[in-house]
C-alpha cells in the first residue's frame, strides 16, 4: 500500500491552483500577475512589489543540504504549524478520520484536527513521559490516519529513542502516516530521524527555524517526507506562503557564519540547561526538575501559584503548563541568556509575592 492511499481521494484528484509565479519560468519582463511595476517606498532590495517564489529555490537547496534530504522531499512554509495543518487537511476527512497524539504534547496537533472536524485519539505518554509504542499500536483504529510524535517532547522535554521511531514507522506502514515533530532536536543528544524517510514512505519529519535558529519572528519551517507526500501538500498550500524578507533572513541564518553562530548558541543553551536544572533543584519549594533535551525545563513546584507570582513580580513570564495531564504542579521555563537565567533564580528565591488572579486555561498550548 502506497502512503498516498491513506490521503483523501478528493485531494489526490484535486486540480491545484496555478499561480502566476509558477507559470513565469524564464521570464524577464513580468506582466502576468497584476503586480505594481514600482517598488514601494523604503524597499531595501527585497523586490516587495513582486510575488515571491512559491518554494524558493535557494532556500530549498540550503535546507535540503542542512537536513540531508533531496529537494523533492522538502516543503517549506510558515513554521511547522502550517505543515501540521496541511497534513491534517490532506489526510483526514471531516467526521470520519482521526489523528493520534500522546499527551502531554504540543497542542496544535489536536487543534488542527478539530478545526478540520477530525477526531483526536489520546494515548498518554508512559512512565517518565516516555513514548509507549505498544500503547500507541493498541489504540490504533482504521480511522487514525496521522500519528504525531513530538521529540523532544513539548512541554515535558524528554526525547524519543530512534529505535522507537523505527519500530513505530514499520508497524504503521500501510495504516497511518507517522509525523515526528523535531522542533527542538538541535538541543538534543540524538540527531534527527530524517534519514529514515528513504526507508519508510509513511514517515514525515517537521523542522523549524524558530528555535535554535532564532527566527521565531520570521516563521520558516519545513516538512521532510516522501516526495509524493510533498507533492500532495503543494496541491493545497497557498500560492505564496513565504514573504521574500523572511526568505532572505533565513538564507542569512543558514550561511556558513550563520550556522557557526547557531552551533555556539546551542552549546551555550545546553550548558545553561544543565546548570539551571541543578540550581532549580536546590531551591526550596521545587519538587522536581524534569530531565530535558530541549531548550526549556519543566519544573514541579510545591506551590506553583506562588512561584508564578514571584516571577511575575520580577517581570519574568514563564509558561503555565498545569492544564496538561500529569503536569498539574509545573511551570515551563525557557533557557535564556546566563543573565536572564540568573534573574529567574533570584526571583524564585525572593520573598512571597502577592498571588496573581487565576488565568483561564488557553486551549491547545503554544510553542
The class level of CATH for 258-349 reads alpha beta
Domain extent listing, the chain: 3-25+32-254, 258-349
Q: Strands across the sheet with 74-77, in order?
A: 74-77, 221-224, 203-208, 177-181, 144-150, 98-101, 119-122
In the block, residue with C-alpha cell 524534569: 290
pLDDT tens per residue, the chain (367 residues)? 799 999 999 999 998 888 877 777 667 888 888 889 999 998 888 889 999 999 999 999 999 999 999 999 999 999 999 999 999 999 999 999 999 999 999 999 999 999 999 999 999 999 999 999 999 999 999 999 999 999 999 999 999 999 999 999 999 999 999 999 999 999 999 999 999 999 999 999 999 999 999 999 999 999 999 999 999 999 999 999 999 999 999 999 999 999 999 999 999 999 999 999 999 999 999 999 999 999 999 999 999 999 999 999 999 999 999 999 999 999 999 999 999 999 999 999 988 755 555 554 444 554 6
Question: Can you tell me the distance from the alpha carbon of 101 to that of 47, in angstroms, rounded to the nearest whole number?
Answer: 42
Question: Can you tell me the distance from the alpha carbon of 356 to that of 84, in angstroms, rounded to the nearest whole number?
Answer: 34
**pTM, full prediction:** 0.93
Residue 29's pLDDT is 86
Residue 226's pLDDT is 98
Residue 184's pLDDT is 98
Question: Can you tell me the distance from the alpha carbon of 223 to that of 180, in angstroms, rounded to the nearest whole number?
Answer: 10
The class level of CATH for 3-25+32-254 reads alpha beta
Cα dist from 232 to 4, 212, 345, whole Å? 8, 29, 48
Amino acid at each position: 500500500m502506497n502512503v498516498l492511499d491513506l490521503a483523501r481521494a478528493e485531494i489526490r484528484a484535486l486540480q491545484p491552483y496555478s499561480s502566476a509565479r509558477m507559470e513565469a519560468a524564464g521570464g524577464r519582463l513580468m506582466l502576468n500577475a497584476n503586480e505594481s511595476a514600482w517598488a514601494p517606498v523604503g524597499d531595501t532590495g527585497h523586490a516587495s512589489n513582486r510575488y515571491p517564489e512559491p518554494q524558493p529555490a535557494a532556500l530549498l537547496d540550503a535546507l535540503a543540504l542542512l537536513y540531508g534530504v533531496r529537494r523533492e522531499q522538502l516543503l517549506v512554509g510558515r513554521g511547522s504549524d502550517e505543515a501540521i495543518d496541511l497534513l491534517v487537511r490532506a489526510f483526514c476527512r471531516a467526521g470520519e478520520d482521526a489523528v493520534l497524539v500522546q499527551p502531554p504534547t504540543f497542542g496544535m496537533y489536536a487543534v488542527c484536527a478539530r478545526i478540520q472536524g477530525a477526531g483526536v485519539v489520546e494515548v498518554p505518554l508512559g512512565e517518565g513521559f516516555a513514548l509507549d509504542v505498544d500503547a500507541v499500536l493498541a489504540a490504533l483504529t482504521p480511522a487514525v490516519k496521522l500519528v504525531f510524535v513530538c521529540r523532544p517532547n513539548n512541554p515535558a522535554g524528554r526525547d524519543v529513542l530512534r529505535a522507537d521511531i523505527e519500530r513505530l514507522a514499520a508497524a504503521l506502514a500501510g495504516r497511518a502516516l507517522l509525523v515526528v515533530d523535531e522542533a527542538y532536536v538541535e538541543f538534543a543528544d540524538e540527531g534527527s530521524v530524517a534519514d529514515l524517510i528513504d526507508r519508510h514512505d509513511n514517515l514525515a519529519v517537521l523542522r523549524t527555524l524558530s528555535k535554535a535558529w532564532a527566527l521565531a519572528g520570521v516563521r520558516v519551517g519545513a516538512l521532510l517526507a516522501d516526495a509524493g507526500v510533498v507533492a500532495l501538500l503543494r496541491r493545497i498550500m497557498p500560492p505564496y506562503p513565504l514573504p521574500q524578507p523572511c526568505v532572505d533572513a533565513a538564507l542569512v541564518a543558514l550561511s556558513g557564519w550563520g550556522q557557526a553562530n547557531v552551533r555556539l548558541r546551542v552549546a551555550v543553551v545546553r550548558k545553561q540547561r544543565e546548570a539551571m536544572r541543578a540550581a532549580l533543584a536546590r531551591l526550596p519549594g521545587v519538587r522536581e526538575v524534569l530531565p530535558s533535551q530541549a531548550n526549556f525545563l519543566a519544573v514541579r513546584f510545591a506551590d506553583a501559584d506562588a512561584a508564578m507570582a514571584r516571577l511575575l513580580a520580577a517581570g519574568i513570564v514563564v509558561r503555565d503548563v498545569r492544564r496538561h495531564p500529569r503536569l498539574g504542579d509545573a511551570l515551563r521555563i525557557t533557557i535564556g541568556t546566563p543573565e536572564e537565567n540568573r534573574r529567574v533564580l533570584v526571583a524564585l528565591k525572593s520573598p512571597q509575592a502577592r498571588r496573581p488572579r487565576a488565568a483561564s486555561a488557553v486551549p491547545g498550548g503554544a510553542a
